[in-house]
Structure 1
Amino acid sequence: MLIDGLQCGFFDRGVFEDLKAGGFSCVTPTLGFWEGAIESFDSVAKWRDLERANADLMTIVRKTDDILAAERDGKVAMLLGYQNTNLLDGRIRYVELFADLGVKVLQLTYNNQNELGSSCYETVDPGLARFGREVVREMNQCGMLIDLSHVGDRTTLDAIEWSQKPVSITHANPASVFPHKRNKTDAIIKALAEKGGVIGCAAYRNITPEPACDSVDAWAQMVAQTVDIAGIEHVGLGTDFSHHSNQVYLDWMRSGRWTRSVQYGAASAAKPGPSEKPAWLKRISGLSDVGPALARVGFHAAEVEKITSGNWLRLYRATIG
């Protein structure tokens, strides 16, 4: 099995075919970044249309057993998620509502501070807000996985401590391996692991060492460095791979409706455009090369299985049910 903790972009039948060809069992697609409730309901509805139109290839996950059933049936399971909590529109009851509609992963903040807490790009991180605490506990109760990938350091640590269930960093790398505001300190990764959580190693060029973008073996070595920090039970895959994205999509991701100024996200003024995909991951089916690469850098078969699927499955079982 092969599970990717986060992908984004535009999904269609061709993407589902690529995922199946690559050996994927489950993927978390990004349904939105800055959208409010109505737009987010529209996104969920479109994904239900996709499920009906591609019922031979994919299925939407409601429970962890759906992933195993999809694997048996030769389909790819899609674990729906958002990279922000704007979809709640400040309403605590919308957590349960979206969970019932099949949204099982929510990132607490994206690239801006919101009502819940801080993003990784804020100058000052005041920590998890009172509304953030309410949402965390509501997500615990409603079977949603908490994602802290773009969240500020203090807010991340607060959420790890406050949550009654393990949480995730679905798509980031250790800052000790590649210094970047989007990546996570060793202290955060260890705190995540102590509570049973999982970090998904990213293949997004702006937050990944250049050698790890040049070869799958170097990327596998980066995964090994992450395992050295978190432990073998707490590392998975979270590529942040983008399908069919364009400049309009990129501008929306970075700027939403909150600014008139130029925003670069994890990029920079020196490299403002779309991030070039890793040389070894031009197509998402290339992720099937990761298992053999992990073996080449020293992981035995049972450890490879944990990194490529088992750790995510355990976390999903503990959170979404």
Structure 2
Amino acid sequence: MLIDGLQCGDFRRDILLKLRDGGFTCVTNTLEFWGGAIDSMDSIAAWLDKERENSDVMMIVRSVADIRKAEADGKVGVLMGFQNSGMFEGRIRYPELFAQLGVRVAQLTYNIQNDVGGSCYEPSDSGLTRYGRELIGEMNTHGIMADCSHVGEKTTLMAIEASSKPVAVTHANPASLMPHHRNKSDAVLKALVETNSILGLAVYHNITPDYATASIDGWAEMVARTVDLMGIDHVGIGTDAGHYVARPELDWMRVGRWTRSAQFGAAKTTNAYGAPAQQWMEDVSQMSGLPAALARRGFTPEDVDKLCGANWMRVYEANFG
């Protein structure tokens, strides 16, 4: 079983085939970055069409049982998620509606402050708002897992404390291994461990150490160092892989509708549109080599199972059954 906590971009049929051929059991998509309720419902509807058009390759999954069915049927399970919470539009009853539409993951904030809390890129993190605390309660009740990947430090710690279910950082790395606003401090890692939550490790070059971008064994080394920090039960995969993501898509992710100024997200101004690619992963199907790389690093078969999927399944079970 190979589970990826977050991917984004245009999941055309060729991408779905690569995911299947790469052995992925389940992948969380990105339905929206900046959209409100209507945009978000359009995105969900488009995925329903995609599922019908590619029913031999993929299925939308809404539960752990669905993920196991996808695995048994040789299909890629797609878990529907958002990289922001704008689809709720400040309405406390909307999490229930979106849960009924099949949404199972929602990142609390993206790259700017919103009505839930602070982003990792704000100069000052305000912390979780009163609405944010109530929203997490509704998400817990209706089976939408809270994602804190782009969320500010203070807001993340408050969200972990507020949630009655394990949360996820679906796509980031430890800041002690790669200092970056998007990566997570030891304090956040400790809070994730204490609440039986999970960190999905990313391959995105701008937030990943050079040694982990050079080879799959280097990435397995980063996994091992993270396990040293958090323990074997709290680490998974969250590649943040993007499909058919070129300059227009990057600009939309970074700028949205909120600014006229240049924004670069996790990138540097010197490589805003040309970050070096992963040397070992020309496409996501090459992630199929990870179990062997982890074994070479000394992980047991049970450990490999946890890192590649079982840890995600435990957190999914706790959130939406």
When normalised by structure 1's length, the TM-score is 0.99
Q: Which residue of 2 aligns with 1:124?
A: 124
Q: Which residue of 2 aligns with 1:242?
A: 242
Unmatched runs of 5 consecutive residues or more in structure 1 = none
Alignment partner of 1:139: what SS? helix
Q: Which residue of 1 aligns with 2:28?
A: 28
- CA distance in structure 2 between the aligned counterparts of 1:86 and 1:275, rounded to whole angstroms: 28
Measured against aligned partners, the alpha-carbon deviations of 1:48-76 in whole angstroms (never above 9, x if no partner) come to: 00011111111111111000001001111
8 Å contact from structure 1 (residues 168, 197) kept in 2: yes
Displacement of 1:179 in angstroms is 0.2
Q: Which residue of 2 aligns with 1:81?
A: 81
Displacement of 1:216 in angstroms is 0.7
Alignment partner of 1:171: what SS? coil
Unmatched runs of 5 consecutive residues or more in structure 2 = none
Displacement of 1:315 in angstroms is 0.5
- CA distance in structure 2 between the aligned counterparts of 1:12 and 1:270, rounded to whole angstroms: 30
Is 1:228 paired with 2:228?
yes
Is 1:93 paired with 2:84?
no
8 Å contact from structure 1 (residues 104, 144) kept in 2: yes
RMSD: 0.7
Displacement of 1:93 in angstroms is 1.0
Displacement of 1:251 in angstroms is 0.3
Is 1:217 paired with 2:187?
no
Q: Which residue of 1 aligns with 2:72?
A: 72
- CA distance in structure 2 between the aligned counterparts of 1:279 and 1:103, rounded to whole angstroms: 33
8 Å contact from structure 1 (residues 204, 275) kept in 2: no
Alignment partner of 1:172: what SS? coil
Provide the aligned length of Structure 1 versus Structure 2: 321
Q: Which residue of 1 aligns with 2:144?
A: 144
Displacement of 1:274 in angstroms is 4.3
Q: Which residue of 2 aligns with 1:259?
A: 259
Amino acid at match of 1:84: N
Measured against aligned partners, the alpha-carbon deviations of 1:111-150 in whole angstroms (never above 9, x if no partner) come to: 0010000000111112100010011000000001110000
8 Å contact from structure 1 (residues 250, 274) kept in 2: no
Identity %: 56
Displacement of 1:78 in angstroms is 0.3
- CA distance in structure 1 between the aligned counterparts of 2:53 and 2:272, rounded to whole angstroms: 36
Q: Which residue of 2 aligns with 1:42?
A: 42
Displacement of 1:223 in angstroms is 0.7
Measured against aligned partners, the alpha-carbon deviations of 1:188-240 in whole angstroms (never above 9, x if no partner) come to: 01111110101000000000011111111111110111111111000000000
- CA distance in structure 1 between the aligned counterparts of 2:192 and 2:43, rounded to whole angstroms: 30
Displacement of 1:289 in angstroms is 1.0
- CA distance in structure 1 between the aligned counterparts of 2:277 and 2:55, rounded to whole angstroms: 29
- CA distance in structure 2 between the aligned counterparts of 1:184 and 1:46, rounded to whole angstroms: 33
Q: Which residue of 2 aligns with 1:18?
A: 18
Q: Which residue of 1 aligns with 2:106?
A: 106
When normalised by structure 2's length, the TM-score is 0.99
Amino acid at match of 1:243: H
Amino acid at match of 1:216: I
| 4+ runs deviating over 2 angstroms | 274-277
- CA distance in structure 2 between the aligned counterparts of 1:9 and 1:207, rounded to whole angstroms: 18
